Amino acid sequence: GEASTVDLGEAVASTSGKTLVVLGTHAADFNSVEYIQRVKAYWPRLEAKGVNRCLVVINGESDQCEKLAELLDVPKSIEMLADPTGEAGRRFGVSRGFRPDDAGLSPFLKLFVMGIVGGPGAWYTLPAVLIGYFGNPNGKRGWIENALIQGQQAGRWPTVLDVASDGKVVGNKFDDTPVVSSWGVRPFELATLRLQNLIGVQGQNWDALKPTDDRCLTQLGGCTVVEKGEALYSWVDRGLCDVPDFDELVEAI
């Protein structure tokens, strides 16, 4: 539809009840994708705690928001907002990444330093990524399975679930993992979802989703839950894939 301007402050103030605001990253970024996948899975629990509005700001154009919403099957109850320059996130106080004002340094090199070489965010990126491979005995995999179902039904690879015609999971290959099948998140389970996202969402749609403002390539995100002007919960991403534990978020509000 036709784009219109939204004042986030007014939008939050005009909502009775609690509002979840996600200050996402660019449309082809892991953090934005995982924020949306987690919000979708946790939405019934968020509603039960009084959250009746969700605004997801994406650092991209309106058509990129629409494309990402289509790829991830985002319900209309989750409002996707476009912010091509990433200004809303910067005002919230998100990390801008490695040497954000150094115009002479390639944004892709900045991203590499952030995630791999030990620059700002690397110490939080690596643990967040490694959990995907090593698993977490105390983790929660419900949102991962929900996202894998949606990805599999959309034709994304790899496929690890047996899904019935009614959408219910009747088998999960990770249930057969020796020794650790009872873990909350099994080794490689989250990594499989991230591979599915990397190939089927980010990789195949990079040209359609990539940021139009180079500053947004390295800018991280955050989120907050607000009620009557008061922040009940706030989070700022510290690295790539370092988005909040939504069980903790739900408990905090």
Tell me the mean pLDDT in the region 234-244. Answer: 95
Q: Decide if pLDDT at 119 tops 60.
A: no
User: What pLDDT, in 10s, does the model give residues 178-200?
Assistant: 999 999 999 999 999 999 999 99
- 83 to each of 4, 54, 89, 163, 249, how far by Cα in Å? 12, 16, 9, 36, 24
Tell me the pLDDT band of 3, cut-offs 50, 70 and 90.
low
Report pTM: 0.92
- Residue 79's Cβ-side half-sphere holds a number of Cα atoms within 13 Å equal to 15
User: What pLDDT, in 10s, does the model give residues 29-69?
Assistant: 999 999 999 999 999 999 999 999 999 999 999 999 999 99
Phi, psi dihedral angles at 189 (to 5 degrees): -65, -50
Omega before 158 within 30 of 0, i.e. cis: yes
User: What pLDDT, in 10s, does the model give residues 82-95?
Assistant: 999 999 999 999 99
CA 167 – CA 211 distance, rounded (Å): 33
Identify whether the C-beta of residue 56 lies closer than 8 Å to the C-beta of residue 39: yes
Tell me the pLDDT band of 113, cut-offs 50, 70 and 90.
low
Tell me the pLDDT band of 16, cut-offs 50, 70 and 90.
confident
